[in-house]
Amino acid sequence: MSHILKQFMATLQQLGTPETITALSTQGYAPSTRPRVNSHLHLPPNFSAFETVAQAVALMEAQGIGVVGVSNYYDFTVYGDFAERVNSAKVFPLFGLEVIALLDNLVTEGVKINDPGNPGKMYLCGKGITQFDPMGDEAAELMAVIRANDSARMAVIADRLAEVFRASGLETGLDADAVKERVVRRHECPLETVYLQERHLAQAFQEVLFEKVEECARLPFLERAFGVASKSTPTCAVTVQNEIRSHLMKAGKPAFAEDTFVGFDHSIRLILALGGIPCYPMLIDGASPLCKFEETPEKVIAAIQARNISCVEFIPIRNSPETLTKYVKAVRAAGLFVTAGTEHNTLDLIPIEPTCVNSVPVPEEIKELFWEGACVIAAHQYLTLSGLPGFVDSSGTPNPTYKTAHERIEAFRKLGAALIAKYREQ
């Protein structure tokens, strides 16, 4: 990984000096046609719709995607392969991460943030990270705590799932290590890069069920395991996996294990230590009713700004065009830049360019703002790799060169657009 990623970074810097790219940006140098953008997706061994990085990049190229941001949990080894492959496909890469934090005061108050099932649980992203290969001491220490906590929780859930299946008449032979081995075989990845997610566990237990139990006996087995009748079909792997999660792994269910997520400050420190821009992923009408934290644009914007977050990300496939437009415009007007992605963190191989719910296209004016956000991230990566101040510094303080947030976003948009144009032409 290290050699490949460093080679990519060198290629990026060889597009021109910061002075050269800045000069081009002031002249309005940019792609002649706005590229299609996806600023958030997951690559294996994270749970992903893609089997391999090669498959993902081939689909990006076939679908005319120009900029892609990767946002994996807890290990970035796969970014090396990604950086190497996207170069020949003329896809500009944005590097990031996703992390989960627990806000104890909001847990106590019962406030749901951007997870509709768990009060106080907040998903966060880091955009434009550049200090992950190798990680500095602070980032490595912060990440080690997260990895240890998460691995311990996944091991408990795996053991409890195995017990539920055993009590219902099926010996699976699964524990956390066995599930990891399945991930390694599926994606041909190093074992040490695998950090399990709930979906990995659900998939492994569904696979063993399908391997060992005849089709006609699967739904009766699931009814014994769930304590209620399954609404799935006995051959649909995805719906069975979803039911395993909802009936067995959620709060109050037999395989549930208490969250071991770190606090908000720990998560933000990690993002900044990796050189990234803290970003809040917005759920909005992906939940019904809306989570209390997000129930009005004004309320969620104030909460985000109070936490010194300058970017908001949307996953439009969850949202109606009307609600998406309302929140995106309000967020951008407040001086925060916006991005969008698809996650691709289920087995559904949906198009890579984001769309709204039911595949309704994202309005053009909103696409333009998502392009702007991708440019901001690209510029931040480029400047920090060049040893210059980025959009924010290591403490999260905005770049002081600009009088207003809107000026800062506009300057980084122009710089990022020029950089992406040079990259795609070369």
Kindly state the DSSP code that residue 245 receives in the 8-state scheme: I
Note the pLDDT tens digit of each residue in 120-170. Answer: 999 999 999 999 988 999 999 999 999 999 999 999 999 999 999 999 999
Kindly state the DSSP code that residue 74 receives in the 8-state scheme: S
- pLDDT score recorded for residue 363: 98
- pLDDT score recorded for residue 2: 59
CB of 31 closer than 8 Å to CB of 417: yes
Rounded CA separation 14/90 (Å): 15
- pLDDT score recorded for residue 1: 47
In 3-state terms, what secondary structure has residue 352? coil
Rounded CA separation 241/8 (Å): 38
CA-wise closest residue to 381 among 373, 391, 371, 394: 391
Beta pairing class for 121-127 and 277-282:
antiparallel
Alpha-carbon dihedral sign for residues 345, 59, 93, 307: negative
* This prediction's pTM: 0.95
Cα 288 off chain centre by: 22
CB of 99 closer than 8 Å to CB of 132: no
CB of 409 closer than 8 Å to CB of 337: yes
Residue 353, phi-psi category: left (phi > 0), alpha (psi -120 to 50), beta (remainder): beta
CB of 168 closer than 8 Å to CB of 225: yes
Rounded CA separation 426/120 (Å): 46
Q: Considering the chain, tell me which residue range(s) the CATH 3.20.20 domain(s) occupy.
A: 1-48+57-135+274-283+335-349+374-387+421-426
Extract the tokens encoding 5: 């990623």
- pLDDT score recorded for residue 14: 84
- pLDDT score recorded for residue 11: 81
Q: Measuring CA to CA, how many Å separate 25 from each of 324, 404, 411, 422?
A: 29, 19, 8, 11
pLDDT-flagged residues of the chain (< 70):
1-4
CATH architecture of 1-48+57-135+274-283+335-349+374-387+421-426: Alpha-Beta Barrel (3.20)
Cα 186 off chain centre by: 21
